[in-house]
Structure 1
Amino acid sequence: MKNVLTRTLAGILAIAPLAATAAAEAPSPPASTQEIFTPDQVESTGSVTVGGQHIAYHAYAGRLVVHPKGWDDTEDLAASHDKDADKQPSAVAAMSYTAYFKDGVPAADRPITFVFNGGPGSSTLWLHMGAFGPVRVVTSASQHTPPAPYKIVNNDHSLLDVSDVVFIDAPGTGFGRVAGKDAAKSFYGVDQDIHAFAEFISQFLSKYNRWNSPKYLFGESYGTMRAAGLTLALQRKDVDLNGTILLSDILNWDLMPDDPQLNPSIDEPYIVALPTYAATAWYHNRLPEKPADLEAFLTRVEDFATTDYAAALLKGNALSDADRKAMAERLHDYTGLSVAYLLKTNLRIEYGAFQKELLGDADLTTGTLDTRFTGPTLDPLSKVASYDPQSAAISSAYVAAFNTYIRQTLHYGLGQTYKAGIDVYSSWDYRHRPPGSGREMIALPNVLPDLAAAMKQNPTLKVMVNGGYFDVSTPYFEGKFEMRHLPVPPALQANVEYHYYRSGHMVYVIPEVLAKLHANVADFIRRTDGLN
């Protein structure tokens, strides 16, 4: 999915009283690029209340330095000592993070969860300020959040009640940077990114003495592709995970709804997106007959999508005119789109076109990340949506809140720029070498083989899949479809569990849904941490 989460700082915000309290005097910002690529940390203390439980913690904000695969430190040392050498040091990345450790609990007996967003090219401020950090920013449920000042409150659903939490920013995002020869090529790609995160986590386990802690990954969006590949990459570093948690997953890029019309004969994106279109039409009251039970309705749509609809698409141009019209009429019943429009689309609905068409008579566009959000259509004559109303509605609040919190409360990053996201989507190296292959595949990336290999080698590994019904960027049914094709035996298929919510891509933006996400993730960790 395109990196729609990159936004600029909206303004200075007035902070409500926060749970955390800063320790010591704030450090001076780095004086040089060299200091950016030197590991650092700032320690502070704070507390959060989760489910009525008061939790004191230590927070650590800092950077670790990682190198690409094949890095040879002797080359950099030689170059640094040879003043006449016309040689640029090899690539290096400083990755920023914020970690929260509960006080009074032995590290060896305390689960630790590594959390990251996706993009690719997104920082992790979204999960930090919206889901599992000790504080969260308050945004409107389904309309544009008014400008600053924004309100930051105690996060009643922080994950600190069951696990220590580490929020990791991808290379080049957050307070991290990349530098050196071929830096972008070395870090901005599927396998390069997985390697960088594996190196980061290995270093982190050593730095904070967490090798014997129960370990979890939590990835959102493109972060799910990273998490699946990282599960196997960490195993190769002798790090077995207790669990891998996926939110709004995309493990097989062939299922992406982005521009499927440019990949004719690959019809799966239309199949996996259809249940989300149906959920959206249900929410906006566009169905000819609206059923009372959303979940039961979606079960019927899922069955239709993988049977009659899939069969019609697979026939391609061989589908008769009568069958094509009959299928358009059935699609009308599930999507609310007109039969005439569906015939024009050749029964294949692009998500951007759906966003613009569903409420087109009202000149409204639905959201991408959450189709319950709506906004004025920017160009009534365009074929597809020109923007994402949900991203426009909440991004400024998240970015402004984090920038203030990290500096004023954790006292890190003063005088530095925090990059919420970087524009690498179109230049990302999507080649991937799956396990068992001697080369990178000339195909869109698919990390299902990685996750399957990891599960086979660590049969105690549990996988948790989460998604929102109103997400068209990574449709919820995509997660089910992928896991139905995960190449593992039946005994290991039982290690995968599913949780879906009446929400969008960022299921945590609504407190009531965040409470359900927290309850499910906390229960998953308690059942799998090996401590009971």
Structure 2
Amino acid sequence: MLKSPAALGLFMALLFIVPLPAAKAQDKETPPQQAQAAEPRRGDEGLRLPPRKTVVQSLEIAGKKQDYKVTAGSIVLRNDSGDPQAEVGFIAYTLEGQPASKRPITFAFNGGPGAASAYLNFGAIGPKRISFGNNGEGPSSPAILNDNPETWLDFTDLVFIDPVGTGYSRFVNDNRELKRSVWSVDGDINALAAVVRRYLVEFDRMSSPKYLVGESYGGFRVPKLAHRLQTNEGVGVSGIIMISPVLDFISQSDSDGSPLAFAARLPSLAALALEKKGEPINRDSLANVEEYARTNYVVDLLRGPRDKAAVGRVVDQITAFTGLDRAFVERQAGRLDLQGLARELGRDRQSVASLYDGTVLGADPVPFVLSFTPKDPILHASVAPLTSVAVDFLNRTVGWRVDAPYQLLSQDVFSNWNWGGNGNEPHEAVSNLREALALDPNLNALVVHGATDLVTPYFDSQLALDRLTALGGDADKGRVGLEVLRGGHMFYVHNDSRAALKEAARKLYPLD
């Protein structure tokens, strides 16, 4: 999708959570020995993660103090010969005194590829959370966990899984072919499906209602994972929640020949303008820009920059919707690239805007340099506090001590990810979502975005969901919903948006 290694490197530096693959075809390779989950065995060499550890904590839920168990541990992936291949770490929260057959269980994944699940765990839906990602919060901000009133624990047990290479999860050996297999689009899904199935068996939860939640690339994972569980692991899924996902990578290209990325991004830029004016952000207030983005904007972009009249119309409309400097928009002929936007949005204050939320600004260390890829004020500034709370919680609170670095964002996983294929097919999860919904009429799904996210803009998901026909939207009793909330990629850093996320997700679960 990107034409040169330099362009790919730039995109990777900016968009670590959701990268654009250089080759987009599905990974057709099948390793000679598939990794499967199994119990640790006596005599296993190379297994280094400690035995599972469980502690009991308490939380006030719906005005009542309740105890819950916290279990930290790992599940061993093995090949067909029974040899250990990897140890996959997890943190599980289970409410005491609930019948397992009726109590829902939710498996949570972050993205990357290469991100641990601490974002969702300690930022959004776990029973404890830390404040991060807002203006003025940086690496040295206090790493203090507090009770999370918006935790989902009151209506579902929670299991946060760290794919191999993230958190404390690790390969048992340094086999290059094993890494290439697991660190791939399809191999990742196969391994995670085995982990989910094994967890359900080991903890006697096969009869529980089962749900999947994923953020960013995790949102790309969970439709694929749901379909894999249905068809290969014998596990039915009741609901899928996708938070700030990329559902189709083809629309993430900034290529001149593909205007979809520019069209998908435009409503989020308009939402930024509304936020700066203090005006309400909702789908009604963005309806005009959405209609323009999917119609006349695309048509005029396809006319090309030599059509001066078309360029003039595009510049006029973008300037009106976004409030961006007209000269900046003209220089790019209405094709607004991410690197330029990050600096343009904060240029008047010698700052750089976060692509994860354009309202959050950080200092631009070299504002006088024209070409510069800055560290993101949200993504990179949140690494230290989230890593600190994850390590402290596991080591001190739970007592699951691991003598190894905790990989919140693994560059090793990210840079070695095997996108596979021959480059003729795009990576997408829309077809997996469609197939999973078609197979199970009781399955429901929800997509939730922040309005001012420029990494995975909400309108990109809207365009993808529009292709589901009768399986989604109002045509089939609203089996697939889309919510747009205040904030960016990690919109849950705002209390009101975190509460709205919980309210929207709660509708997919059984009533008490």
Given that residues 354 and 384 in structure 1 are in contact (C-alpha distance below 8 angstroms), is that contact kept between their aligned partners in structure 2?
Answer: no
Counterpart of 1:521 in structure 2: which amino acid?
A
Instruction: Give the counterpart of 1:109 among 99, 102, 118.
Output: 102
Contact 2:238–2:442 (CA under 8 A) maintained in structure 1:
yes
- Take 1:113 and 1:391, find their aligned partners in 2: how far apart are those partners? 25
- 4+ aligned runs moved over 6 Å, structure 1: none
Gaps of 5+ in 1: 7-30, 77-90, 433-439
Q: Secondary structure of 1:505's partner?
A: coil
Paired position in structure 1 for 2:6: none
Q: Counterpart in 2 of 1:61?
A: 72
Match among 420, 424, 441 for residue 408 of structure 2: 420
| Offset of residue 149 of structure 1 | 4.2
| CA deviation after TM superposition for structure 1 residue 5, in Å | 6.3
Kindly indicate whether residue 301 of structure 2 is the aligned counterpart of residue 309 of structure 1. no
- The offset of 1:418, in angstroms, is 1.8
Preserved contact between residue 364 and residue 376 of structure 1 (Cα < 8 Å): yes
Q: Per-residue displacement from partner, 1:356-377 (whole Å, max 9, x unpaired)?
A: 1123132111112111110122
- Corresponding position: 1:386 with 2:382: no
> Match for residue 434 of structure 2?
452
> Aligned residue for 1:95?
88
Query: Residues 469 and 504 of structure 1 are in contact (CA less than 8 Å); yes or no, is this contact kept in structure 2?
Result: yes
- C-alpha change, 1:444 and 1:36, in structure 2 (3 Å) is farther
Correspondence 1:241 to 2:233 = no
**Residue equivalent to 2:479:** 495
> Is the contact made by 1:36 and 1:176 (CA closer than 8 Å) also made in structure 2?
no
Q: Is the 8 A contact 1:430 1:444 kept in 2?
A: no
Counterparts of 1:140 and 1:316, CA distance in 2: 38
Secondary structure at 1:467 match in 2: strand
Contact 2:274 2:281 in 1 (8 A): no
Matched, 1:284 2:276: yes
Q: Give distance in 1, aligned partners of 2:77 and 2:377.
A: 36
Tell me if the contact between 2:282 and 2:484 (Cα under 8 Å) persists in the aligned partners. Answer: no
Q: Aligned residue for 1:201?
A: 196
Q: What residue in structure 2 maps to residue 83 of structure 1?
A: none
Partner of 2:119: 126
Compared with structure 1, are the counterparts of its residues 280 and 32 closer, same or farther at alpha carbon in structure 2 (3 Å cutoff)? farther
Decide whether the 8 Å contact of 2:55 with 2:70 is kept in 1.
Answer: yes
In 2, Cα distance between the equivalents of 1:108 and 1:293? 41
Q: Is the 8 A contact 1:507 1:513 kept in 2?
A: yes
Q: Which residue of 1 aligns with 2:38?
A: none
For 1:240, give the aligned amino acid: G
- 1:513 maps to 2:501: no
Partner of 1:402: 390
Q: CA 1:284 to 1:148, structure 2 compared with 1: closer, same or farther past 3 Å? A: closer
8 Å contact kept, 2:345–2:358: no
Paired amino acid for 1:51: A
Residue 289 (structure 2) pairs with residue 272 (structure 1): no
1:466-504 superposed Cα distances (whole Å, 9 cap, x missing partner): 000111111111111110123655655831012111011
Distance in 1 (alpha carbons) for counterparts of 2:114 and 2:138: 24
CA distance 1:35–1:479, change in 2 (3 Å)? same
State the match for 1:171 in structure 2.
164
Match in the other structure for 2:445 = 463
Q: Does the 8 Å CA contact 1:62/1:97 hold for their aligned counterparts?
A: yes
Q: Which residue of 2 aligns with 1:191?
A: 186
Contact 1:50–1:155 (8 Å) recurs in 2: no
Deviations 1:118-175 (A, max 9, x none): 0110000111111121211134742224725432211111111000000000111111
Q: Deviations over 1:394-429 (max 9, x none)?
A: 332221111111111111124333211211333322
The residue aligned with 1:255 is 251
Q: Given the alignment of the two structures, is residue 333 of structure 1 paired with residue 329 of structure 2, yes or no?
A: no
The count of aligned residue pairs is: 469
Any idea what SS the aligned residue of 1:512 has? helix
CA distance in 2, matches of 1:278, 1:48: 40
1:512 to partner: Cα distance: 2.5
Residue 512 of structure 2 corresponds to residue 525 of structure 1: no
Alignment of 1:217-228 (within 5 A): 217-228=212-223
SS of the residue 1:232 aligns to? helix
Structure 1 Cα separation of the partners of residues 238 and 58 of structure 2: 27
| Contact 2:70-2:398 within 8 A present in 1 as well | yes
Separation (CA, whole Å) in 2 of partners of 1:478 and 1:519? 23
Residue deviations 1:264-304 (CA, integer Å, cap 9, x gap): 3111111101111111233234xxxx866654331211111
RMSD between aligned alpha carbons?
2.5
2-side partners of 1:284 and 1:144: how far apart? 20
Cα distance, 1:383 vs structure 2: 4.3
The 1:425/1:146 distance shift into structure 2, 3 A limit, reads closer
* TM-score with structure 2 setting the length: 0.86
**TM-score under structure 1 normalisation?**
0.83
For 1:394 and 1:457, locate their aligned partners in 2 and report how far apart those are by CA, in whole Å: 39
2:45 maps to 1:45: no
Residue identity over aligned pairs, in percent, reads 28
Matches of 1:331 and 1:422 in 2, distance apart?
37
Where 1:524 maps in the other structure, the secondary structure is coil
Q: Which residue identity does 1:426 align to in structure 2?
A: S
What's 1:22 paired with? Answer: none
User: Aligned with 1:390: secondary structure?
Assistant: coil
CA contact (8 A) 2:383 2:408 kept: no
Per the alignment, residue 19 of structure 1 pairs with: none
Larger Rg: 1
Offset of residue 333 of structure 1: 0.6
Code of the aligned partner of 2:251: L
Q: Deviations over 1:170-208 (max 9, x none)?
A: 111111101353232021111111111100001001000
CA separation of 1:33 and 1:148: change in aligned 2, threshold 3 A? farther
Shift of residue 326, structure 1, vs aligned partner: 2.3
Equivalent AA in structure 2 for residue 448 of structure 1: V
| Residue 72 (1) aligns with residue 83 (2) | no
SS at match of 1:57: strand
Q: Which runs of 5+ in 2 are unaligned?
A: 1-10, 19-42
The alignment status of 1:160 with 2:153, answered yes or no, reads: yes
